[in-house]
Structure 1
Amino acid sequence: MVFENRADAGHRLGRRLLPLRGRDVVVLGLPRGGVPVAYEVAQMLDAPLDVIVVRKLGVPSQPELAMGAIGEEGARVLDERTLQYFGVTDAQLERIEERERAVLEARTARFREGRERIDLTGRIALVVDDGIATGSTARVACRIARQLGAGRVVLAVPVAPEEALGRVTEADEVICLATPPYFAAVGHHYRDFSATEDDEVVALLDAARRRHEAQLPPARSAAAPGDPVDADVRIPAGSTRLEAHLHLPAPGAGVVVFAHGSGSGRHSPRNQYVASVLQRAGLGTLLLDLLSDEEEAERANVFDIELLARRLLLATAWLREQPGSAASPVGWFGASTGAGAALWAAAEPGAPVTAVVSRGGRPDLAGERLRLVQAPTLLIVGSRDVEVLGLNRWAQESMQCPTRLAVVEGAGHLFEEPGTLDEAAGLARDWFLRHLAPAREHTGGDLR
């Protein structure tokens, strides 16, 4: 079994765990990579999301190989067989544990900032990771959950070797989707196993907390015109309904609609993080899936730029019908093929968009329609994404509207390098603040 990415793994794992829906469950993700998986699970179970922070203790000569793990509340598990095989001394173990304990404490403070730990007393603690290799970190996490008062501890992972699962005696139940006979590494079972950054973890925790605590009905029927909105919504699109999440801080606030690309969706950690940056700047966001689950299963739909563009226009029309956003200026944020869809839609006569941003996008997929786009457009590309950078340069030359090409140094296609996603999010924020602000706040000048 191979997963597209952590969101896909979480969605599949969530389906397996549906019998827990409606019970007193707290989903506990293991930072960092386990949190995007846990976020999907919590969403499907309608359960709160929290974290248990653990740190692997790597063998001195092979840091990626765990000889144990440590966690919050002083929890510690050692793999005696690995320690003996590699001849790890007490002094070496002490130095490594001291170093990893400092990292653990700093990361715990980062993830707990402004958030109280969710009480586990008597509840089902559902510990989720993106996979396990030796089982050390999973065992520590389950031990911590028990120490914090959980009445039952369940470990759930997408993939793991059978032998490692057998060692997790700290859990009352272990659920795993795949136990391949030849297991080399967790990442070999994902097409996209790019690193998860701390900021992405924080953004997912914030989003999960808002969603679970607010529990607001869909904006179209229940929110008063002057109320802030932070709710899941369903948008009619012909015979289907598009799943989305609307954040509207105040009536008339500028709203950025996210057009996700291939292999992505409204739960994409990167787009969630960009949305959180925009929200902190006072902008509204509409994160939506332009295809239903059934439609996305047909791979051709993912690259049907015209279909995606029509769905984006429908979602924007729906947004204009909501009481709090009827007068809101609208921006479109596209990634990958979603950028092509956004610019295709922006070429429509009277397109209801004020500004467009493409991050690592394929604006070239809009083809000849690029010259018809009138909305100011920012193209953000990583310097290491050479092929896409060339396509964006071609697209910029084809466009007649105000455009700017921003190259983020050191960034690849996914902006997974440290600091690069922050820079891209800041560029998008500044562009939208400039163009979605009231007309008297706009500034002129050549944007190329």
Structure 2
Amino acid sequence: MSISQPTPPAAGGRGQAGLPRALVLLLAAACGVIVANNYYAQPLLPALQHAFGTSAGTAGLCVTLNQLGYAAGLVFIVPLGDLAGRRRLVTLLLALDAVVLAAAAAAPSAWALIALLTAAGTAGTAINVLIPTAASLADDSQRGRVVGTLMTGLLLGILLARTVAGAIDSLVGWRPVYGVAAVAAAALALALHAKLPELPAAPGARYPQLLASVVTLVRTQPFLRRRMAAGALGFGAFQLLWTALPFMLSDKPYAYAPAVIGLFGLLGAAGAAAAQPAGRLQDRGIAHGATGVLLVLLAGSWALLAEGRNLLLLAAGIVLLDIGVQGVHVLNQGRIYLFPAQVRARATTAYMSAYFLGGAAGGAVAVALYPAWGWDGVCAAGAVMALAGLALWAGDRRAGPAPAATTSLPRPADAAPAAGVGSGTG
């Protein structure tokens, strides 16, 4: 048998009775708490630069290498969701996260902090074990809504991370930020170990075959490759903005303190609010058209952001960018989860690896461009990313229905071909 482009599976999957609302909300809260660890450093970059007496570029590595650590976890750890018990995997990752974050609170140097935050990024891929698990447990007709709920929690975590980090730093310094994060990770490990249902592991699976099958999946599935490219461009633009913005806001004419810079994260509430509606659009089968609209908003946001000395236009640009990026991401994920359940973790690995590599690239571009070309250079790079996303979307539309040809894909259990599904649109 074989696997082709994903289409919505027939009804009859595990229903909402198997995924109580209380568990959905716990998973959404877990996504928010875990992802926040990747964003605490953003409003703290000027403070970290001052505390360790280092350059903006070195301080910026706290963000860039954290994203690369996350990408490494996506490649080497998340596929284990198709191999090992997911509850055990999530518990172990959160326990590691708690230890690493506690060490980060006592980091003696900038490079020690960078190394620890890189490890925290790797452990934070527990999120991408939780989301496919929720997608597998949800009813087929409501999968987009459930994913949207978890993404709302995740986006609220991103939003509040910047605000909380800035507020704590202004009161007691940056180190307690990571102490609090360590306690939260430990509490989550206990809660999820108690409440998360254990899905059966694939018997007889081999890890090398599992990783090789991710490569096969990417190589043979144009649908997946297009989602990967769109996700990378979107998150690259997101990280470009949020890595450069603290440096711009700490310069003249604003010269804001970290606590004030952190408040700008509240503007991301618009992106969090867009997650649930985007999930509903996925359930209604109009993901492609909605993606195009969101990409137009993303492109327009950079025109507003370019007027960075006008605070009102800057805020409007941030709002539009967050709506565009997060809406596209939710729609991409909803479509990725239309792959058969037995390859869903590996499809997630492929998509999210590209997503966070794009984010790492966006952060790296920000710390390179801002000192050399200022805010104008950052906005020009963001506009290029947005236009590339629109070009990709237009090409995606011209691709039309997926080709009828299929290709075999090893199952993690025995390297036999995976079960197939029908052809769908890209």
- Fold similarity call, TM over 0.5: no
| TM-score of the two chains, using structure 1 as the length reference | 0.26
Which of the two has higher C-alpha Rg? 1
The structure showing larger relative contact order (alpha-carbon pairs under 8 Å, at least 6 residues apart) is 2
Query: When you count strand as a share of all residues, which structure comes out higher?
Result: 1
| TM-score of the two chains, using structure 2 as the length reference | 0.27
